[in-house]
Amino acid sequence: MVEVRAVYDGQLRCRVTHGPSGQEFQTDAPTDNGGEGKQFSPTDLVAAALASCVLTVMGIVAARHAIELAGASARVEKEMIAGPSRRIGSLAVTVSFPRAYPEAQRALLERAAASCPVHHSLHPELKVPIRFVYPS
């Protein structure tokens, strides 16, 4: 079990603490919801969690198979929808690789990305397409 604590500091900002390490960060409401948008919003953190989870799981698989993955990146485009309640409508993921890989390694990495626990924890109505970009 991991404990995460959040304290409301006012002005639509929260201070979040990771229990095991004591690391802290702040969140801010987005500008379209009354905040200043100066820091990650809570829904931005969902997008960040997805991107870092995809890369981390791919990194675990890459290490097992001696595949060099350093320099790979993930970009997530988050789109909100208004109704029937305000929520994330889609998280489109683009994974870019610094080098080309043989087809068997591509399949391993792409399967790993699809097994990300954050992705599997999201509501099934949320659209989460993952696109892979390899250099030509």
> Tokens 């948008």 label which residue?
37
Read off the pTM.
Answer: 0.94
Q: How far apart are CA 18 and CA 11, in angstroms?
A: 22
Longest dimension (CA), the chain: 52
Encode pLDDT of 85-118 as tens digits. Answer: 899 999 999 999 999 999 999 999 999 999 999 9
Q: How far apart are CA 127 and CA 105, in angstroms?
A: 26
Region 63-91: mean pLDDT is 95
Whole-angstrom Cα Rg for the chain: 17
Domains assigned to the chain: 4-33 (no CATH), 42-133 (3.30.300.20)
